[in-house]
Amino acid sequence: MARNELLAGLLGLVVVLSRAAELSSYCPVFYTEPPADCEPIPDTLFGPAVDNFGHREPDIGILEDTFDALAVLQGDYFDLHDGTWPSAIDWTGAVVETVVAGALRTLSSSLGRVDLGNLKDWKAKENLVSFLFSQVTRSYYGQDATAIRDQAYDDMQWVVLGWIEAIRFVSVHSTLHYPGNYDGNATGASRLELVSDELPWHGNNWISPFAHRALVFWHLASRGWDEKLCHGGMIWSPHVTPYKNAITNELWVTASISMYLYFPGVNSTAPSLGSDDFPERDPAFKAAAIQGYEWLMGINMTNSQGLFVDGYHVNSEVPGNVECDVRDEMVYTYNQGVILTGQRGLWAASGILLYLNEGHDLVRSVINATGWNLTSNSPVDGIIPGQLPPWRGIGRGGILEDECDASGECSQDAQTFKGIFFHHLTAFCEPLEPSGEVGVTVDTDGFRRVRGAHASACRSYVDWVQHNAEAALGTRDSHGRFGMWWGAGLFGNVTVSRSEDGIDHSAANTTDYRNHGTPDDDIWGGRWVPGSGAPSRTGNGGESLPYSDAGGELRSMVLGIRTAAGHRHRVVGDPNDRGRGRTVETQNGGLALLRAYWEMSQSN
């Protein structure tokens, strides 16, 4: 066993012992040597899951709405000429690419459910997938990789997640539809025969560049790990006073374990990486993920509602202080999301139940703090159009909300947040798969129970996701563009200001820097303004881009289901017209939410 692996295993054990003694007595699901003394895994795990969703018929309408959202995103906001979403900034563009690649994976695995009703069915489907995939590959060149190198450590890591997601799509699409393994060597058989039967999907040609970029940015981000302060953890940005925040550390866990699980290995040609080869399943990635997770869970970044707060400063008034002792209590939706992919991945790499359990605890905390009762499967507060339900910590009326949504004051950063949450909730709730670890034995009975308990817990969330999705669908304008504040229509389009939105914006130690910038005080050590990370291109809001016809074309390709006339019409006084209005980021949020609804209602 490699040293790193041993270290990872030991660290894993410490996690189990220190945080959930009761879970650690269960027999491991994956093992290299049969355990001596352990309890069988019970049928009920992961807290009080209420499987009130049951086995329902999948509603194809959800898939149609999902691809309508995708068609509008790509048709109205993507510029094929530049290979960018021009109104995005670097990091929000990386998030859009991630969500589009995820949606492609969904499309690939859902194609079988869709009947295009003509003899050219396969041709149209393949063209649809390739059409969208070519936009993803185009954006590989559109991405301003040079600018992002100099940005904060969180910015860099969105790039890693984006290209890993693209690799996952290519793998899934190939496995499902093109399982050939022809490698260009036609000896012994007719070349034509091999080509027609065995050629892998053309997208495989992109795996190496995607892997390369993910690797380069993972290495750049790894410089953010620091042990001089707070005994570990990633710092947010090399350009400001050290601040150890939830997002940078969640990204580190998620990016590292995703590299461990999905990075296919490259033989390096990048000058910045030396001439080493980088293998797949490199234990260094797993060790980094475990170390990051231990630090994050050990330092307590959650509040009394179980939600992640924003991060820790080091009090500089105490001479020689190295402790993370000044906590910022601001709560954002994306901080509840990114870690879910990390927890899911850590489970896949170890079979340790605690990771999944902590993920479900977080999801339940979020759902509860939107004012939704999972037991009764309904909002805790009555929804009366024209009245704003009370704020419950991260939403109201059962709808996920950032603190800037109701007042229409979200920055470009904050407009991206809720979609990030739902992208990672989707990843967390994918059906569990047995370990792909070499030399590991799977306890098939134990695995079946864990898989069942996980699926049933995830099903208990679907009605809440549906409640959000239906509200969000109601915010679309006549072009099919999603608004930012999903609750707007549900609450009767009440238009409120920041002082009327029911949120205590002046709560102690709470700095909404992602919307209003950092204060120029001793704690933050200087002014930072959201969106000041170099914009990728001067945006024009996507109003008059070339190629905007692709929206209509795609819509009709995606089965011609929903015509523009079917959309709700914008009304005067629409709360979602305030502030930055509808943007590529809000569209991406709608897509991520709809995809979550489709995927989670499928996985029985």
Ligand X SMILES: *[C@@H]1O[C@H](CO)[C@@H](O)[C@H](O)[C@H]1NC(C)=O
Residues engaged in binding ligand X (CB under 6 A): 185, 187, 265-267, 277, 300, 302-306, 326, 329, 365, 368, 371, 373, 375-376, 380, 385, 392, 475, 489, 492-493, 508-509, 568, 570-571, 574
Of the candidates 251, 246, 245, 242, the residue with the CA atom closest to the CA atom of residue 217: 251
Q: Quick one: 408 or 446, whose CB is closer to ligand X?
A: 408
CB of 187 to ligand X, least distance (A): 4
Query: In 3-state terms, what secondary structure has residue 94?
Result: helix
- Taking the CA of residue 510 as centre, how many other CA atoms within 13 Å lie in the half-sphere pointing to its CB? 14
How near is the Cβ of 200 to ligand X at its closest, in Å?
Answer: 15
303 vs 466, beta carbon nearer ligand X: 303
Please say which residue, 1 or 571, places its beta carbon nearer to ligand X: 571
CB of 120 to ligand X, least distance (A): 36
Residue ranges of E strands in 238-377: 243-245, 266-267, 277-278, 311-314, 324-328, 372-373
- Tell me how far, at minimum, the Cβ of 217 lies from ligand X, in Å: 18
CB 252 within 8 Å of CB 221 = yes
Per-position b or e across 557-583, b if 16+ CB within 10 A of its CB? bbbebbeeeebeebeeebbbbbbbbbb
The angle that helices 153-177 and 121-142 make with each other, rounded to 10 degrees, is: 160
Tell the smallest beta-carbon distance from residue 528 to ligand X (Å): 20
Report the alpha-carbon distance of residue 500 to residue 491 in Å, rounded.
14
**Which positions ≥6 away from 39 have C-beta within 8 Å?**
25, 26, 27
- In the complex with ligand X, the residue whose CB is nearer, 537 or 568, is 568
Return the number of the residue (85 or 461) whose C-beta is nearest ligand X: 461
User: In the bound complex, what is the minimum distance in angstroms from residue 430's beta carbon to ligand X?
Assistant: 26
| β-pair partners for 535 | 89
Residues in the chain: 604
**d(C-alpha 600, C-alpha 290), whole Å:** 27
**Whether 463 contacts 395, CB under 8 Å:** no
Pick 305 or 540: Cβ nearer ligand X: 305
Contact call for residues 433 and 502 (beta carbons, < 8 A): no
Measure the CA–CA gap between 533 and 402, rounded to whole angstroms: 21
Closest distance of CB 338 from ligand X, Å: 19
Nearer CB in complex with ligand X: 392/423: 392
| Closest CB 319 distance from ligand X, rounded Å | 17
| Residue type present at position 137 | T
CB nearer ligand X, residue 89 or residue 394: 394
* Token pair 């750049």 in the structure block, residue: 220
Minimum CB distance to ligand X, residue 565 (Å): 14
Beta strands 243-245 and 311-314, pairing class: antiparallel
Among the listed residues 180, 164, 129, the one whose alpha carbon sits nearest the alpha carbon of residue 258: 164
CB of 325: closest distance to ligand X in angstroms? 6
Q: 3-state class of 257 per DSSP?
A: helix
CA 522 to chain centre: 33
- Quick check: 80 and 546 in contact, CB under 8 A? yes
Compare residues 267 and 321 and give the one whose CB is closer to ligand X.
267
To the nearest 10°, the Cα dihedral for 493, 497, 501, 505?
A: 150
Whole-number Cα distances in Å, 251 to 236, 246, 258, 317, 396: 11, 8, 10, 30, 27
Nearer to ligand X, 356 or 367 (CB): 367
C-beta of 490: minimal distance to ligand X in Å?
8
Contact at 8 Å (CB) between 161 and 263?
no
Q: By C-beta, is 52 or 134 nearer to ligand X?
A: 52
Closer to ligand X by CB, 259 or 558: give it. 259
Q: Give the nearest distance from C-beta 239 to ligand X in angstroms.
A: 24
